[in-house]
Homo-oligomer: A and B are copies of this chain.
Amino acid sequence: MTNRTLAADILGKLPLFRHTPPARLAEIARHARTEHVLRGAVIAQRGEKPRGLIAVAYGLVKLSLRGETEKVLRLVGPGETFAEAVLFLDKPLPVDAVALADTLLVVVKAAPLLALIDTDRGFARGLLASMSQRMHELVMDFEATTQHGARERLAGYLDSLAPAGIGDARVQLPASKTVIAARLGVTKETLSRLLRQMGDEGLIAMAKRDITLRDRARLAAAARGDRPA
């Protein structure tokens, strides 16, 4: 399979292009290329000008703000895209992107996508919807960071990892605890202590990156800010 048909294949599976006719998709793929990067590789850096829309075929990408303390804005997994927003702005990237695992990317140049907005109404709507979604998540995150304490954020995060349902649930952290901590906006030390504490309270059980939610009701309560009994 050539690089381009591979790209077309991957792009076709994205929600964004779900309704785009194959002919147009092939056209888009002509301006796309796949890129394989190793764990730890820097995909893009803050300040650079974006190379285009980036989709993750497999692997995991970390988008983060780097100050003296790193804040992870989003973990981008298979089937997800990033850098949509900068496509339409003449601004440099505001975040760093680093591969957390061996990752296959598809990079699509901006120009053909801009054209696609005019010719494929489904795409325009899809893009709008996905950006709205992203925006909403960002606002929710903002709220979590500014309104809730570290314990509440962690409880909410853990709860969000498991599909709604009652009874024990087993979840797996999508990245190292250090990265999760930066995602939650705390230090790894604080995360470690909080996990420990929740373990002691019987809220969760932890084995490495695998966590069992032992009491989802109390976990949800903790996310709402209730202090332990």
Contact = CB atoms under 8 A, between A and B. Distances in A.
Nearest to A121: B118
18 contacts: A67-B146, A68-B147, A69-B147, A71-B147, A84-B132, A85-B131, A88-B132, A89-B133, A91-B136, A94-B140, A94-B143, A117-B124, A118-B121, A124-B124, A124-B128, A127-B128, A131-B131, A138-B138
B88 A129 contact: yes
Interface residues of A, number: 41
A108 interface: no
Interface in A130-148: 131-136, 138-143, 145-148
B136 A125 contact: no
Q: How many copies does the complex hold?
A: 2
A43 interface: no
A185 interface: yes
Interface string A65-90: 10111010100000000001111110
Contacts of A114: 125
Interface in A22-80: 65, 67-69, 71, 73
Nearest to A143: B65
B95 A136 contact: no
Contacts of A86: 132, 136
Given A65-B142, A121-B117, A146-B65, A94 B132 contact: no
Contact of A95 (B85, B95, B139): B139
Contacts of A91: 136
Nearest to A122: B118
